Amino acid sequence: MAETQLRKYAVVEKLNKMDVDLIKSSPGIATATYSNGDLMAEQETIDNAVAVKGGNCILQSITAIDTSDTGGAIYLIITDSSQDLGTVGSAISAADAAADNSMAIVELSNWIDVGGAKVCSKANIGLVCNSLSATDAQSKKLYYGVVNVSGGDIVIGSGEDIIFQFGVVKD
């Protein structure tokens, strides 16, 4: 069990110690038509999401930019390690181990048409995340998968049709 040290830092020291970062990620979503419930991408990375190996962060916000101007509700499944969520283009079929390493499922559904693209934001998430153990070379990363939950089809014209921006507070 983790030990909480309430007196380790004064309030000013703690606030000055935390870094805020906006991390961009373009998942490798294959050109295809994804039906409702289909896995669109998996094992994508949020690089340097935490400040130190095995560290923590607060996932504060997610913005998605859909340059294909499609929109449609999606789930982002946030995990602490690279997990097999199933076969891309098919219904999600994650093993129990993947569920054990999942930290959150965030729905993005409020797409706004801004001309040639659609933008969706989810703010004030406040989710505490932890990367893998300090012995893992990949441990400053978080991982995510994307699932279509729009109730219909989402058409992806190129692998970079959707760009995510993750707002994190690093401890």
Instruction: Give the model's confidence band at 47: pLDDT under 50 very low, under 70 low, under 90 confident, else very high.
Output: very high
pTM metric for this prediction: 0.85
Give just the sign of the alpha carbon dihedral 41, 75, 52, 170. positive
Number of neighbouring beta carbons within 10 Å of residue 81: 19
Instruction: Give the model's confidence band at 135: pLDDT under 50 very low, under 70 low, under 90 confident, else very high.
Output: low
Contacts of 53 (CB under 8 A, 6+ apart): 131, 133, 134, 135, 136, 139, 140
Task: Kindly tell me if the per-residue pLDDT of 39 is higher than 90.
Answer: yes
- At 95 the three-state DSSP class reads coil
Mean per-residue pLDDT of the chain: 86
The DSSP call for residue 91 is: B
Class of domain 18-170 as given by CATH = mainly beta
Task: Kindly tell me if the per-residue pLDDT of 1 is higher than 90.
Answer: no
Cα–Cα distance measured from residue 30 to residue 4, given in angstroms and rounded to the nearest whole number: 44
Instruction: Give the model's confidence band at 10: pLDDT under 50 very low, under 70 low, under 90 confident, else very high.
Output: low
Domains of the chain, by residue range, sit at 18-170
